[in-house]
């Protein structure tokens, strides 16, 4: 009997250590889902498994203890992996998340880098109308050869800069609230 208890204790310790170390999202998402915590809040973001029994998973997040029941209860700890995977899949579906987690940012390359550079240079150039008059760095080194184009850019500066900033700000908000959140990207990281 003691052998069975020691095996269960070892299995519990192995499950808890492995889940907390290697599967943070598989702890965070079911906690968020089962406790009806807003995915926007960070209250479940630091969730860690405290204990596991055949009946429930005990999770601590921001000092609060939450119990997530296994339905039906497990018959042995060998079922833990498939049960936690099923809980994670249910939470991913219920929260409208993707099962793909984005963990790194990749810089734009090739064509995308050219588009990014062109957009950045346009924003910097059209930041102020004064960039298109004699005496400015941009005018004196580049636009001095095409004064009609410099005059044209001077006139359209507010019609280019402000919509461009507005569009890119709206795009950033859409990406942060929609696509990045869906892939478990924490804002600001």
Burial class (CB in 10 A: 0-12, 13-18, 19+), 91: buried
pLDDT band per the 50, 70, 90 thresholds, residue 2: low
Q: Within 1-146, where are the H helices?
A: 2-22, 24-34, 80-94, 110-125, 137-141
Domains of the chain with CATH codes: 2-94 (3.20.180.10), 110-182 (no CATH)
Does the pTM surpass 0.95? The reply is no
Quote the Cα angle for 174-175-180, to 5°: 135
- Give the H/E segment covering residue 176: none
The structure tokens listed for 133 are 């008059």
Q: What pLDDT sits at residue 145?
A: 93
Q: Among 28-37, 97-106, 139-148, 161-170, which is the least confidently predicted range?
A: 28-37
- Output the pLDDT for position 166: 96
DSSP 107: -
Q: What is the pLDDT of residue 37?
A: 64
Specify the 3-state DSSP secondary structure of 55.
coil
**44 near 31, Cβ under 8 Å?**
yes
| CA-based nearest residue to 101, from 43, 33, 171, 24 | 24
Mean of pLDDT values over 83-95: 84
Tell me the pLDDT tens digit for each residue of 136-175: 999 999 999 999 999 999 999 999 999 999 999 999 999 8
Compute φ and ψ for 138, nearest 5 degrees.
-60, -45
3-state secondary structure of 20: helix
Number of neighbouring beta carbons within 10 Å of residue 111:
8
């Amino acid at each position: 009997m003691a052998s069975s208890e020691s095996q269960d204790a070892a299995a519990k310790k192995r499950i808890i250590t492995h889940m907390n170390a290697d599967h943070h999202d598989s702890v965070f998402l079911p906690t968020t889902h089962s406790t009806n915590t807003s995915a926007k809040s960070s209250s479940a973001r630091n969730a860690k498994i405290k204990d596991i029994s055949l009946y429930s998973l005990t999770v601590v997040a921001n000092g609060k203890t939450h119990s997530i029941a296994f339905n039906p209860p497990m018959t042995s700890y060998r079922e833990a992996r498939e049960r936690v995977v099923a809980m994670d899949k249910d939470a991913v579906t219920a929260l409208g998340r993707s099962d793909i987690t984005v963990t790194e940012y990749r810089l734009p390359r090739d064509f995308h880098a050219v588009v990014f550079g062109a957009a950045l240079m346009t924003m910097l150039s059209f930041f102020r109308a004064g960039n298109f008059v004699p005496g400015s760095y941009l005018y004196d080194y580049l636009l001095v050869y095409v004064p009609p184009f410099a005059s044209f850019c001077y006139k359209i500066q507010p019609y280019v800069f402000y919509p461009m900033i507005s569009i890119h700000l709206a795009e950033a908000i859409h990406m942060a609230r929609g696509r990045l959140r869906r892939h478990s990207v924490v804002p600001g990281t």
